């Protein structure tokens, strides 16, 4: 008896009908599996929030310029910074997020609670100055990048438009809508990944240099390493991350400090860690691909003097093509739209918490005049820098180094608070977190000290 006849006899139906039934069953199984994967992806995306936007904001135009300079000046030699700073950066941001969730207060409010006022005022004043300078550099970079695509539009018109748009989004949209905007805008960073993947790189060398650290100990390289550390492990990210965890709690209905200080659950901490480590991974992944792209194209062709993100895009175009040029330019604009409000917002959170003002993006303008006033003033200073004859490129690089010098001071406060059982309860730092925290402080202090010595010694 043939197999077909046997199947018909066993199933009690013609074999062709049985075959169709089996095919239908397989299709249903495949569709179910696909929907299950889509569901998991959606759940993961939904779980992302402050950590993702904080990590993405780290790769602002000033950061892009610093990473581009690292790749163009030293090839793949400094590529290891992207891999080695990832766990350090993620651990710091996790501490900040944990402080925000457990205490129900922002970082400045906690410093005010547990440390002398001069420490608080010094830290927040330095943050305001650094952020305002950074905003100026970022606004200028966004305008220059847009001119690469639309050269007929004037620099003045573009920078004013970006300033007004950034302020309008912060002041006149609800926090819920604004948070979603920042979250989707973070995806613009993938343009740098795509741009690097279109370039023919020596991936064996790339991966090797990403793992094995190499330092020449020259004055310029030490300066650049400090700038990379300053723009990666940056104080404004600390304040923003903590305050956004508080904003998220308010969005969930925890509108009073008492409600926010209720027992923190294991699920909250787990979701926060997924969010933070995902955001920091994206940030460092983008750093990796920017350095790799500029090293593989610009350094390889002897173009080593890159001072702006827009200049990097222009230099890449004749060698790597229009696609890479376009992706680089769009990335500068997108990351600027993400970073400028976060720079202004983090300074405003810090100052408002320090002074005891009403604050929060969930509040309307009339409910928090001082909070939004600081955002407007900080952004206005950044705008003015572009018209006062300052060299925005030097401002950009020196701001990154400045951040690298003041970060250890703020980090000491963060590690101390997150490691204090009286403040954190059961969510105090573990041994590994404490060890990494102090390691970061030592490394950034050494880098900053080496930079100062390199300038003092001829």
**Is pLDDT at 5 greater than 80 in this prediction?**
no
Distance CA 373, CA 384 (A): 16
* pLDDT of 330: 84
Mean pLDDT score, 8-18: 55
CB 179 within 8 A of CB 49: yes
CB 155 within 8 A of CB 147: yes
**Is pLDDT at 458 greater than 70 in this prediction?**
no
pLDDT digits (tens, 9 = 90+) for 43-94: 777 778 888 888 888 888 888 888 888 888 899 999 999 999 999 999 999 9
* pLDDT of 217: 74
Least confident of 28-32, 124-128, 183-187: 28-32
CB 311 within 8 A of CB 147: no
Mean pLDDT score, 203-224: 84
* pLDDT of 80: 94
Give, to the nearest 10 degrees, the angle between helix 80-103 and helix 235-251.
Answer: 40
Greatest extent of the chain over all pairs of C-alpha atoms, in Å = 96
* pLDDT of 27: 66
Distance CA 179, CA 175 (A): 6
CB 165 within 8 A of CB 146: no
Tell me if residue 12 falls in helix, strand or coil.
coil
- What percent of the chain clears pLDDT 70, i.e. is strictly above it? 87
Distance CA 241, CA 334 (A): 20
Distance CA 381, CA 133 (A): 8
Residue 98: which pLDDT band, with cuts at 50, 70 and 90?
Answer: very high
Query: Scanning the structure block, which residue is given the tokens 């003092």?
Result: 456
Distance CA 385, CA 399 (A): 13
* pLDDT of 315: 76
pLDDT digits (tens, 9 = 90+) for 31-54: 666 676 777 777 777 778 888 888
**Is pLDDT at 157 greater than 90 in this prediction?**
yes
**Is pLDDT at 17 greater than 80 in this prediction?**
no
Least confident of 30-34, 205-209, 242-246, 369-373: 30-34
* pLDDT of 182: 80
345: exposed, middle or buried (Cβ count in 10 Å: 0-12, 13-18, 19+)? buried
Sign of the Cα pseudo-torsion (19, 21, 25, 30, in order): positive
Q: Token digits for 317?
A: 């175009």
In sequence order, which residues have a C-beta less than 8 Å from that of residue 287 and are 6 or more positions away? 59, 63, 67, 81, 82, 85, 228, 232
226: exposed, middle or buried (Cβ count in 10 Å: 0-12, 13-18, 19+)? buried
pLDDT higher at 440 or 45: 440
* pLDDT of 64: 84
pLDDT higher at 362 or 372: 372
Q: Token digits for 69?
A: 């300079």
Here the contacts of 442-449 (C-beta below 8 Å, separation 24 or greater) are 443/88, 443/229, 444/229, 444/233, 444/404, 444/407, 444/408, 444/411, 445/408, 447/222, 447/225, 447/226, 447/229, 447/404, 448/226, 448/404, 448/405, 448/408
**Is pLDDT at 116 greater than 70 in this prediction?**
yes
pLDDT higher at 45 or 445: 445
* pLDDT of 422: 92
CB 266 within 8 A of CB 427: no
Among 4-18, 71-85, 166-180, 210-224, top mean pLDDT goes to 71-85
**Is pLDDT at 24 greater than 90 in this prediction?**
no
CB 298 within 8 A of CB 304: yes
* Average pLDDT score, the chain: 84
**Is pLDDT at 7 greater than 50 in this prediction?**
no
Q: If we measure between CA atoms, which residue out of 267, 241, 228, 243 comes closest to residue 94?
A: 241
Distance CA 349, CA 371 (A): 7
């Amino acid at each position: 008896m043939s197999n077909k006849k046997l199947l018909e006899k066993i199933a009690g139906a013609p074999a062709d009908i049985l075959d169709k039934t089996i095919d239908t069953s397989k299709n249903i199984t495949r569709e179910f599996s696909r929907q299950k994967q889509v569901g998991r992806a959606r759940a993961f995306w939904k779980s992302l929030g402050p950590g993702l936007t904080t990590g993405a904001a780290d790769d602002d135009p000033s950061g892009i310029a610093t990473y581009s300079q690292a790749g163009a000046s030293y090839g793949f030699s400094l590529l290891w910074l992207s891999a080695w700073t990832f766990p350090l950066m993620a651990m710091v941001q996790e501490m900040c997020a944990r402080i925000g969730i457990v205490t129900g207060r922002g970082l400045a409010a906690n410093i005010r609670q547990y440390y002398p006022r001069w420490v608080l005022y010094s830290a927040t004043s330095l943050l305001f100055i650094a952020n305002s300078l950074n905003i100026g550099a970022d606004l200028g970079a966004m305008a220059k990048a847009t001119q690469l695509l639309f050269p007929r539009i004037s620099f003045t018109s573009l920078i004013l438009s970006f300033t007004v748009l950034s302020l309008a989004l912060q002041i006149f949209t609800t926090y819920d809508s604004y948070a979603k905007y920042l979250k989707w805008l973070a995806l613009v960073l993938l343009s740098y990944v795509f741009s690097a993947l279109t370039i023919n790189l020596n991936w064996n060398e790339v991966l090797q240099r990403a793992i094995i650290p190499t330092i020449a100990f020259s004055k310029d390289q030490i300066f650049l390493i400090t700038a990379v550390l300053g723009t990666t492990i940056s104080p404004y990210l600390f304040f923003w991350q903590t305050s956004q965890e508080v904003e998220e709690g308010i969005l969930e209905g925890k509108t009073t400090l008492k409600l926010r200080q209720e027992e923190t659950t294991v699920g909250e901490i787990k979701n926060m860690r997924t969010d933070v480590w995902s955001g920091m991974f994206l940030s460092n992944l983008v750093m990796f691909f920017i350095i790799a792209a500029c090293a593989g194209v610009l350094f390889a062709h002897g173009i080593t003097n890159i001072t702006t993100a827009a200049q990097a895009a222009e230099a890449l175009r004749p060698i790597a093509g229009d696609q890479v040029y376009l992706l680089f330019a769009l990335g500068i604009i997108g990351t600027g739209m993400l970073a400028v409000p976060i720079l202004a917002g983090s300074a405003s959170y810090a100052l408002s918490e320090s002074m005891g003002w009403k604050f929060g993006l969930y509040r309307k303008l009339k409910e928090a005049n001082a909070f939004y006033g600081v955002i407007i003033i900080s952004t206005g200073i950044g705008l003015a820098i572009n018209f006062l004859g300052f060299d925005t490129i030097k401002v950009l690089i020196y701001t990154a180094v400045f951040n690298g010098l003041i970060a250890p001071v703020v980090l000491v406060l963060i590690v101390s608070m997150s490691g204090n059982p009286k403040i954190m309860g059961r969510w105090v730092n573990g041994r590994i977190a404490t060890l990494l925290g102090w390691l970061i402080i030592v490394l950034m202090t050494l880098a900053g000290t080496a930079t100062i010595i390199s300038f003092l010694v001829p």
